[in-house]
Amino acid sequence: MTNIKYHDLEEGSKATPFSTFFWAGFKNDWTNVENQFSDDIEWILMPNYAIYKGKKDVVALCKAGKYASQKNPEPILNIITNEWGIWEYWNIGTVTEDVIEFAKQSAWPFPKYTKSVIGKTYKVPVCFIYHINADNKIDLVREYLDVGSVMAQFTGGI
């Protein structure tokens, strides 16, 4: 059995490759973000199974998500084994036009009348399950986000 290690959740934590990546992105340290990824990383958005492949496309996705709204993340779980990790957090933010554009590019089901949700706040748990290769680089991420619960906060349902 693989030994599971729970790590701190503090802002700036470098306890795991994902916490290092997450907080680096939060601080716009894109060089450190890139350093956590393998060249052939694959990032899968589980709400719609959109797949991003390669460091360039994955970093572009991360930048687009970061700049989409004013966010105040609250980490929930930072756990790792020898090869797999989980990073879970509350994504808390305010809807901006950039959030709506990011949602469109990610093919999320946003309300038909998007102008009505601009300025509204949201809170949704997000979970990342990731794999670490032999070089201690993240080479696979599955991102789980309940888009339906976000929409319910604005519209009472999708």
pTM across the whole model: 0.83
What is the structure's pLDDT at 62? 86
SS3 29: coil
Instruction: Report the relative pairing of strands 138-145 and 37-45 from DSSP bridges.
Output: parallel
Domain range annotation of the chain: 5-155
The pair of structure tokens assigned to 136 is 């201690």
Q: Is the pLDDT of residue 157 over 60?
A: no
Kindly report the average pLDDT of the chain as a whole number: 84
How many Å apart are CA 3 and CA 119, to the nearest integer? 44
Confidence of residue 1 (pLDDT cuts 50, 70, 90): very low
The domain made up of 5-155 has a fold known as Nuclear Transport Factor 2; Chain: A, (3.10.450)
**Order of all β-strands in the sheet with 50-53:** 5-6, 74-80, 84-94, 121-132, 138-145, 37-45, 50-53
Instruction: Render pLDDT for 52-71 as a digit per residue (tens, 0 to 9).
Output: 999 999 998 888 876 555 67
Between these two residues, 115 and 12, which has the higher pLDDT value? 12
Backbone angles phi, psi at 77, to 5 degrees: -150, 135
Confidence of residue 47 (pLDDT cuts 50, 70, 90): confident
